Amino acid sequence: MSSHDGSTPSNDSSTAQSSQPSISMSSGSRGRTDLAWGQCREALELSVGYKKTKLVCLYCAKVFAGGGINRFKQHLARANGEVEQCHKYSPDVLHQMLLNLKGNAAKKKELEKCK
Ligand SMILES: [Zn+2]
């Protein structure tokens, strides 16, 4: 008599939203808002005929002839590498420095947390 119609409409639409806004981190910004600029001073080298900026550590007076602010940051952050580490640097400033260096990564993690 009655034809058994066992068709259960499954409307399980699992929309995978994997479209995250790509955060472009411009690490090579020319702005001098970096914390590291407050820990050194620039010294012009004029002896070789052309202007060349050197960075001098305000703590241990170490001179960085090349590498720029990035090398100086490694000096302060005591990163492993060829850069000589600063030995007159106060831990408090070092802490801020590390926070500054890790800033981008930490922000990214926080964004993933509050989904
Ligand atoms: Zn130093």
- Looking at residue 105, its amino acid is A
- What separation in Å is there between the alpha carbon of 89 and the centre of ligand 1? 6
pLDDT given at position 81: 75
Taking Cα atoms as reference points, which of 98, 20, 75 lies closest to residue 66? 75
Quote the pTM value.
0.49
Instruction: Provide the 3-class DSSP secondary structure of residue 54.
Output: strand
Ligand 1 mean position, distance from CA 64 (Å): 10
Rounded to the nearest angstrom, the distance between the alpha carbon of 43 and the centre of ligand 1 is 15
72-107: pLDDT as tens digits: 988 888 777 778 888 887 767 667 767 777 776 666
List pLDDT tens digits, range 10-54.
666 555 555 555 555 445 445 567 778 888 998 876 665 656 778
Expressed in angstroms and rounded, the spacing between residue 72 Cα and the centre of ligand 1 is 8
Beta-carbon neighbours within 5 Å of ion ligand 1: 57, 59-60, 62, 86
Q: What percent of the chain has pLDDT over 70?
A: 54
Confidence of residue 6 (pLDDT cuts 50, 70, 90): low
Cα-to-centroid distance, 60 and ligand 1 (Å): 4
Report pLDDT for 22.
54
Q: At residue 67, does pLDDT exceed 60?
A: yes
**At how many degrees (to 10) do helices 68-77 and 91-113 cross?**
100
Residue spans per domain, the chain: 35-114
